[in-house]
């Protein structure tokens, strides 16, 4: 049995006290870190009594493992690759296209631009439900800032997240992206944590910009990956996110999107296949604040062994956001007696010219479909694999970034080979 | 005016009119403590065990905190400012005849098509001035006795049938289930008790309306319905016509027990005072309703039409404990002006081959806020559970809200759970089509709304369905245009 989780919270507390991340930080950042360190020490890890963490109480989980990540990673192909080890970016690539600036957050903090300060201070961490963000603020210093100038296509950036044996009890990192008007970026992330990683990402999309974001999560047994992605979208910007969760550990993803400008569009796709003791939790909160915005959430889950999946998709259409269109779908295949799905597709609608729909299903594979395939001479395991694969491929095939789509499909196939 | 002020105003009013004289001694001063509970129990001539039961609930209540998770904006409630017992109004306080009743109220009755003799009773006219209803009630009572059905007030049941009450009270909704259920368990005023013996099909629809003495069950109603093996009962609660009521906070508890092969159909039409057009006043309706399909092959069906109350907070639920049990929930909830509703159901699948169906229709108009909140839970042992949920929302106007919070928790791979929801408005093209055919705007809206709610109205007993339809039309008056 692992050490009790209270010890983890204590260990994180000690870690924060031992390595004050304040060196070289401007005064406001030091104050932010100090305030949020106090908040973390006060609240501790998220627990069951918090609605947002009801099904994923970190305080009751076995403490994260201490394994070392595999070295291999996503083939960046023509893109630019940045390796982040224990949350800290390694050597930054040279020769980026003109108009693309990639720096460590530490370098940016030294200059302390106003927009960085505004971004870091913009997430309210007062509630105990936001304690993981408070923890991230308390440990500022690891992470990246990417800025793409007007009408520049930044191409593909791959972030490869890995842990080593020297990693702290829980590593924190921050990723901030600013896309100016008409700018484009394809961001691919390859997460394979061996221990615990807490990443907060903030994406700012100016009018007409486009960010496509693909994430692969293949955490090791007993690892923790907690990510929070906050996106603010100006008019006619496009944000597309796709995630594939095939890890063996715990993964919690929060996606918050503000459709703040008229005509903005956001798509979130996800496939998750927890088996073994894996636990995947997707929390989405899409706010339609302006007129004529579109949002789509499509998530597919396949659960095996003692796998557990949580889906909480919320669409909030604010007063005045007429012409909004929002669709949500979450379907799950439950393939084991010990697995569990908890899904909650929420709609909060406060405008009347709205088209909104959501659907959620939980069930097993269709026996008739399995029988059909068997009657065509396909063995049962193969038939099940085909049907399960098709169920998830529907989502993965919709990924816009070609390289990510192909790589994710390959990973999905090999995952299904191991766990049919 | 805040809710507490309203309560206080009424309380002061009572003092002024000498409610505390010897003649009107049957009212307790505001406040909540063990003595108040003892006094309530004594006045109802309750057996000792029931008093103990109330006190245990009160002690649990003291340790609980008021919940705030619902999508509701509730002004703070001062529980010490409420009087927890007031006897039914004496006849001399009531209007002597319909001539003294507010003409606006009578106009509503007219639109609803309420029979003349019922209007008087609903408007609170002294009972001896009402000719027909008493005799109707007595006839029904005789017929029920013949069938062996027990249908009486809760207080009467506690005295006459203590073995039944003791066996089932609090077994579906435990005392500490939630804050308001605990409050109700401590101070419940009265309510109905129904027992249908083995194999009996209750010969008529039971309705609180026809039960003598049911006119003022008070603000903390407690209902217990037991359907013994193989029996059937259909129970109607509430009334389409607006009832005279001066209590601000209503916290009722309803418990249903269906034993092997039994079926309970529970229909509610709720049209309490929703507050005025500015959102002032109105009733807080915080209800805990739960049915337990305790025996195999039993069936519980909830149907509700909720158009009244300033705030509605209720989740009629089914615990599908036995094998092959069925739970159903059909709901129409309408919020207009500043009304708020957070309502839905819980279907807890525990037995094998259990089935549940949820059809929820929410209509928001004016500044109304309407939320569906539901839970479908399939336990580990619940093989072959099946659930279908459909919740549709309709928005009328730009300042209202429609929200959906469905929780789905599945722990068994043989389960089939489906949830779907849509949000829409009354389309310009639909309205235009009707107007073009010579149908006025209000008629067109009520026609469209009626179509939207059809699936639920179909589940209501015939005469209730007709009234419910009329009720929606009245509640929506002025919402369009």
How far apart CA B91 and CA B88 sit, in angstroms, is: 9
Burial pattern A406-418, b for ≥16 Cβ within 10 A else e, equals ebbbebbeebbee
CB A135 within 8 Å of CB A231: no
How far apart CA A384 and CA A371 sit, in angstroms, is: 10
How much is the pLDDT for B8?
A: 41
Residue A385 corresponds to which tokens in the numbers above? 């694999």
Task: Determine contact: A319 vs chain B, CB below 8 A.
Answer: yes
Cβ B406–A344 below 8 Å, yes or no? yes
Query: Who's near A390: CB < 8 A, 6+ residues apart?
Result: none
Residue A252 corresponds to which tokens in the numbers above? 């919690």
Residue in A276, A338, A269 with CA at minimum distance from that of residue A300: A269
Distance from CA of B233 to the nearest CA of A (A): 33
Relative to beta strand B284-293, strand B317-320 is parallel
Provide the β-strand partners of residue A254: A228, A283
Residue segments in chain B with a per-residue pLDDT below the cut of 70: 1-27, 86-139, 208-218, 239-247, 463, 478-481
Residue in A65, A221, A62, A34 with CA at minimum distance from that of residue A134: A34
Cβ B408–A341 below 8 Å, yes or no? yes
Task: Determine contact: A370 vs chain B, CB below 8 A.
Answer: no
How much is the pLDDT for B117?
A: 55
Tokens 């009755």 sit on residue: B109
User: What is the rounded radius of gyration, in angstroms, for the C-alpha atoms of chain A?
Assistant: 21
Task: Determine contact: A305 vs chain B, CB below 8 A.
Answer: no
HEC sequence for chain A: CCCCHHHHHHHHHHHHHHCCCCCCCCHHHHHHHHHHHHHHHHHCCCCCCCHHHCCCCHHHCCCCCCCCCCCCCCCCCCCEEEEEECCEECCCCCCCCCCEEEEEHHHHHHHCCHHHHHHHHHCCCCCHHHHHHHHHHHCCCCEEEEEECCCCEEEEEEEEEECCCCCCCCEEEEEEEEECCCCEEEEEEEEECCCEEEEEEEEEECCCCEEEEEEEECCCCCCEEEEEEEEEECCCCEEEEEEEECCCCEEEEEEEEEECCCCCEEEEEEEECCCCCCEEEEEEEEEECCCCCEEEEEEEEEECCCCEEEEEEEEEECCCCCCEEEEEEEEEEECCCCCEEEEEEEEEECCCCEEEEEEEEEECCCHHHHHHHHHCCCCHHHHHHHHHHHHHHHHHCCCCCHHHHHHHHHHHHHHHHHCC
DSSP strand E in B228-339: where? 232-238, 249-250, 253-258, 263-270, 284-293, 299-306, 311-314, 317-320, 326-335
Task: Determine contact: A325 vs chain B, CB below 8 A.
Answer: no
Give me the half-sphere count of Cα atoms (radius 13 Å) on the Cβ side of residue A232.
12
How far apart CA B292 and CA B419 sit, in angstroms, is: 23
Cβ A348–B403 below 8 Å, yes or no? yes
Tokens 């109480």 sit on residue: A57
Question: What are the backbone dihedrals phi and psi of residue A202, each rounded to the nearest 5 degrees, phi first?
Answer: -130, 120
How far apart CA B75 and CA B461 sit, in angstroms, is: 36
Cβ A355–B409 below 8 Å, yes or no? no
How far apart CA B32 and CA B7 sit, in angstroms, is: 15
Distance from CA of A265 to the nearest CA of B (A): 19
Cβ A341–B399 below 8 Å, yes or no? no
Task: Determine contact: A358 vs chain B, CB below 8 A.
Answer: yes
CB count within 10 Å of CB A85 equals: 17
| CA quadruple A216, A219, A223, A225: dihedral, nearest 10 | 0
CB A212 within 8 Å of CB A240: yes
| One pLDDT digit (tens) per residue for chain A, 420 residues | 444 445 688 888 887 777 655 567 788 888 999 999 999 999 999 999 999 999 999 988 888 888 787 777 776 667 888 999 888 888 888 878 899 999 988 888 888 788 999 999 999 999 999 999 999 999 887 889 999 999 999 999 999 999 887 788 899 999 999 999 999 999 999 999 999 999 999 999 999 999 999 999 999 988 999 999 999 999 999 999 999 999 999 999 999 999 999 999 999 999 999 999 999 999 999 999 999 999 999 999 999 999 999 999 999 999 999 999 999 999 999 999 999 999 999 999 998 888 888 999 999 988 899 999 999 999 998 999 999 999 999 999 999 999 899 999 999 998 988 765
CB count within 10 Å of CB A70 equals: 11
Q: Which residues of B touch A358 (CB under 8 A)?
A: 404, 419-421
How much is the pLDDT for B423?
A: 85
Number of residue pairs across A and B with CB atoms under 8 Å?
111
Question: What are the backbone dihedrals phi and psi of residue B245, each rounded to the nearest 5 degrees, phi first?
Answer: -155, 135
- Kindly state the helix (H) or strand (E) to which residue B418 belongs, with its residue range: strand B416-425
Degrees to nearest 5, angle at CA A409 with A406 and A414: 125
Taking CA atoms, A385 is separated from A245, A365, B345, B457, in Å, by 17, 10, 36, 45
Provide the β-strand partners of residue B437: none
Nearest CA in chain A to B363: A352
How much is the pLDDT for B133?
A: 37
Burial of B319 (C-beta count, 10 Å sphere; 0-12/13-18/19+): buried
How much is the pLDDT for A77?
A: 67
DSSP symbol at B192: E
Nearest CB to B418: which of A51, A354, A361?
A361
Residue A408 corresponds to which tokens in the numbers above? 């994710």
How far apart CA B256 and CA A316 sit, in angstroms, is: 36
Output the pTM of the full model. Answer: 0.85
Mutate to test the interface with A, among B371, B381, B382, B408 (most CBs of A within 10 A): B408
Task: Find how far residue B243's CA is from the centre of its chain.
Answer: 13
DSSP symbol at B432: H
Distance from CA of B290 to the nearest CA of A (A): 22
How far apart CA A47 and CA B227 sit, in angstroms, is: 41
Q: Which residues of A touch B415 (CB under 8 A)?
A: 334, 362-364
Residue in A188, A177, A192 with CA at minimum distance from that of residue A225: A192
Q: Which residues of B touch A344 (CB under 8 A)?
A: 405-408
Task: Determine contact: A349 vs chain B, CB below 8 A.
Answer: yes
Distance from CA of A351 to the nearest CA of B (A): 6
CB count within 10 Å of CB B148 equals: 15
Residue A388 corresponds to which tokens in the numbers above? 């399960």
Q: Which residues of B touch A327 (CB under 8 A)?
A: none
Tokens 């990693």 sit on residue: A167
How much is the pLDDT for B17?
A: 26
Nearest CB to B410: which of A341, A346, A347?
A341
């Amino acid at each position: 049995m692992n050490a009790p989780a209270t010890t983890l919270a204590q260990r994180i507390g000690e870690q924060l006290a031992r390595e004050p991340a304040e060196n070289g930080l401007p005064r406001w950042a030091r104050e932010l870190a100090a305030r949020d360190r106090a908040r973390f020490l006060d609240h501790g890890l998220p627990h069951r009594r918090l609605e947002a963490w009801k099904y994923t109480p970190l305080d009751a989980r076995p403490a994260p493992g201490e394994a070392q990540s595999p070295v291999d990673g996503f083939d960046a192909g023509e893109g630019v690759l940045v390796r982040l080890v224990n949350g800290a970016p390694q050597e930054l690539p040279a020769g980026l296209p003109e108009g693309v600036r990639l720096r460590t957050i530490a370098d940016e903090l030294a200059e302390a631009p106003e927009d960085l300060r505004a971004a870091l201070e913009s997430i309210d961490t007062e509630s105990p439900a936001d304690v993981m963000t408070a923890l991230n603020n308390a440990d500022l210093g690891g992470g990246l800032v990417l800025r793409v100038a007007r009408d520049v296509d930044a191409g593909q950036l791959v972030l490869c997240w890995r842990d080593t044996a020297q990693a702290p009890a829980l590593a924190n990192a921050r990723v901030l992206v600013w896309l100016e008007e008409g700018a484009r970026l394809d961001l691919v992330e390859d997460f394979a944590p061996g221990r615990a990683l807490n990443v907060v990402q903030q994406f700012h999309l100016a009018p007409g910009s486009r960010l496509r974001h693909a994430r692969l999560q293949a955490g090791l047994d007993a690892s923790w990956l907690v990510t929070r992605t906050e996106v603010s979208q100006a008019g006619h910007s496009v944000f597309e996110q796709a995630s594939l969760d095939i890890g063996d550990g715990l993964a919690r993803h929060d996606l918050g999107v503000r459709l703040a400008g008229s005509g903005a569009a956001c798509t979130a796709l996800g496939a998750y296949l927890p088996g073994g003791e894996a636990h995947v939790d997707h929390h989405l909160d899409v706010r339609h604040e302006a007129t004529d915005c579109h949002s789509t959430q499509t998530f597919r889950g396949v659960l095996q062994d003692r796998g557990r999946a949580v889906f909480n998709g919320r669409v909030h259409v604010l007063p005045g956001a007429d012409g909004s269109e929002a669709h949500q779908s979450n379907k799950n295949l439950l393939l084991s007696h010990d697995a569990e799905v908890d899904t909650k597709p929420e709609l909060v609608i406060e405008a009347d010219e709205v088209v909104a729909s959501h659907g959620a299903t939980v069930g097993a594979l269709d026996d008739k479909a399995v029988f059909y395939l068997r009657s065509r001479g396909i063995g049962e395991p193969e038939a099940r694999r085909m049907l399960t694969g098709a169920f998830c491929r529907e989502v993965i095939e919709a990924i816009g970034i070609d390289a990510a789509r192909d790589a994710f499909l390959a990973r999905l196939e090999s995952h299904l080979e191991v766990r049919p | 005016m805040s809710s507490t002020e309203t309560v206080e105003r009424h309380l002061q009013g009572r003092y002024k009119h000498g409610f505390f004289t010897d003649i009107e001694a049957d009212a307790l001063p505001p406040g909540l403590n063990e003595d108040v509970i003892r006094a309530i129990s004594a006045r109802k001539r309750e057996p000792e065990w029931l008093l103990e039961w109330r006190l245990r609930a009160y002690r649990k209540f003291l340790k609980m905190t008021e919940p705030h998770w619902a999508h509701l904006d509730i002004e703070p409630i001062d529980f010490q400012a409420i009087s927890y017992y007031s006897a039914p109004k004496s006849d001399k306080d009531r209007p002597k005849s319909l001539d003294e009743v507010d003409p606006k109220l009578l106009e509503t009755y007219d639109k609803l098509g309420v029979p003349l003799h019922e209007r008087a009773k609903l408007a609170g006219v002294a009972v001896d001035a009402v000719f027909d209803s008493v005799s109707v009630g007595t006839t029904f009572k005789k017929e029920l006795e013949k069938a062996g059905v027990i249908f009486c007030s809760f207080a009467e049941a506690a005295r006459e049938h203590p073995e039944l009450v003791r066996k089932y009270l609090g077994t579906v909704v435990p005392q500490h289930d939630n804050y308001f259920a605990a409050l109700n368990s401590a101070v419940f005023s009265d309510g109905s008790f129904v027992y249908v013996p083995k194999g009996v099909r209750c010969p008529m629809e039971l309705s609180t309306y026809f039960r003598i003495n049911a006119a003022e069950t008070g603000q903390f109603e407690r209902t217990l319905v037991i359907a013994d093996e193989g029996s059937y009962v259909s129970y109607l609660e509430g009334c389409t016509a607006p009832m005279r009521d001066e209590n601000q906070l209503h916290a009722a508890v309803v418990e249903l027990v269906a034993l092997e092969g039994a079926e309970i159909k529970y229909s509610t039409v709720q049209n309490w005072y929703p507050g005025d057009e500015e959102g002032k006043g109105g009733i807080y309706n915080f209800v805990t309703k739960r049915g337990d399909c305790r025996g195999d092959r039993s069936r519980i069906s909830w149907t509700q039409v909720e158009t009244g109350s300033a705030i509605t907070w209720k989740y009629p639920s089914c615990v599908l404990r036995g094998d092959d049990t069925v739970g159903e929930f059909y709901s129409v909830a309408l919020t207009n002006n500043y009304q708020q509703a957070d309502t839905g159901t819980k279907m807890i699948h525990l037995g094998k081959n259990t089935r549940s169906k949820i059809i929820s229709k929410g209509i928001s108009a004016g500044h109304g806020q309407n939320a569906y909140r539901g839970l479908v839970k399939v336990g580990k042992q619940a093989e072959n559970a099946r659930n279908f949920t459909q919740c549709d929302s309709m928005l009328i106007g730009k300042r209202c809200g429609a929200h959906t919070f469905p929780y789905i928790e599945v722990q068994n791979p043989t389960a089939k759970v489906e949830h779907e929801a849509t949000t829409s408005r009354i389309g310009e093209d639909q309205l235009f089509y009707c107007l073009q055919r010579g149908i006025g705007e209000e008629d067109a809206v009520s026609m469209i709304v009626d179509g939207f709610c059809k699936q639920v109205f179909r589940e209501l007993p015939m005469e209730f369905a007709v009234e419910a339809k009329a009720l929606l039309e009245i509640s929506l008056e002025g919402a369009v245009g």
